[in-house]
Amino acid sequence: MKKITEAKKYRDTKKAYKSVRELIKRAKREKDNDWYLNARKTISEVKGALKGKYDIDAALQKILLLEDELARYKKGAFREFIESLLWAGILALIVRGLFLQPFKIPTGSMEPTLHGSYSNGDRIFVNKIIFGLRLPWIAYDKEREPVPLQLKYSPVVIPVREPERWDIVVFQTRGIVGLDQHKDYIKRVVGLPGETIEIKDGDIYVNGKITPKPEYLKGIYYRNTDFSAFDGEYGQEGRAVQIPEDMYYVLGDNSANSKDSRYWGFVPRDNILGRAFFVWWPVSQRWGYLR
C-alpha cells in the first residue's frame, strides 16, 4: 500500500509541475521579477526531486502551494474546450491541405475498381504529398496572377515524384477544355509526357509497342471512341496521340462509361492533386489499398 501511495504522490507532483510551468508563463506579465525568480527556483527544486525521486512529499507541498497561488491564471473548462476545437480544426486543415484528403467517388467511371454514386459512392483517401508539396491557400492562374479561391490553381513548389503509369489520380479540371472548371476528377494514368498513345483491341500501345497491364487490370478493356459520339478525337481506332510535355493521358477503368482523355484530351501536371491510395468506406471487398 505504501508503494501505491508514493507512486500516486509522484504522479500528482508531476502533473502539478507541468500545470504550474504553464501558469508561471501567464503570470509573468503581471508579477514582479522577484516573484518570478522565486517561482522558477521552486520549479527547479521540484524538477530535481522528480528526477531523483527524493523528497516527493516536500516537493508536492511546494508545487501545490504555488499552484494555489496561481489559480486565477487557470483557463476555464469552456475556454479549454474551445481552444481544443480550434487546434483540432487547424490541424485538420493542415492535414487536408498538404497531406491527406478524403474524396467520394461520384460516378461509375472507375468500376469495378471503385464504386461510384452521388449518394453512396466509395469513400477514399488521397495522398496529396506523394507528387509534391503545394501551397493550397495560395491561388494563382496559369500566369501566376492571383485569382479567387474557387478558381484555385496551386502549383507544386517542392516536387517529390512524378505520376506513374497505372496510378489512380485525383486532379482539378481547371483549364481543361470541355469540363466543368470547378470540380475534381478521378482517373487512371495510362500515358506519360512525351509518349505516343494508341488504344487497340482493348490494350494500350506506348510509342508503337503494347504495354502489358498489371495483373490487377487484366480484366479491364479499354475501348476506342467514335468521333461522332462525343467529339472523341483522342481515342479513335487506328490513331496514335502525342502527349505534350507536362501532360498526362488518363482513362477510367469503366471504359464504356467514362468521359476521359479520349474525349477531352490531357491533364496538366500541376492539376494533379494526389494519388488515390485507400478505400476506407464501405467495408467491402474493395476496402483497403488501391492499385
Give catalytic residues, as residue numbers: 109, 187
Q: Please report which helix (H) or strand (E) contains residue 134, including its range.
A: strand 132-134
Cell of 267: 491533364
Distance CA 194, CA 269 (A): 12
Distance CA 214, CA 197 (A): 17
> Which residues 6+ apart lie within 8 Å of 13 measured at CB?
46, 49, 50, 56, 59, 60, 63
Distance CA 74, CA 185 (A): 49
- Amino acid 178 reads G
- The strands making up 203-206's β-sheet, listed across from edge to edge, are 209-211, 203-206, 196-200, 241-242
Please tell me what DSSP assigns to residue 198.
E
Tell me which residue has cell 500515358: 191
Distance CA 226, CA 221 (A): 16
Contact 122, 114 (CB under 8 A): yes
Count helices and strands in the chain by DSSP H and E runs: 6, 14
Distance CA 281, CA 286 (A): 9
Contact 171, 152 (CB under 8 A): no
Cell of 36: 518570478
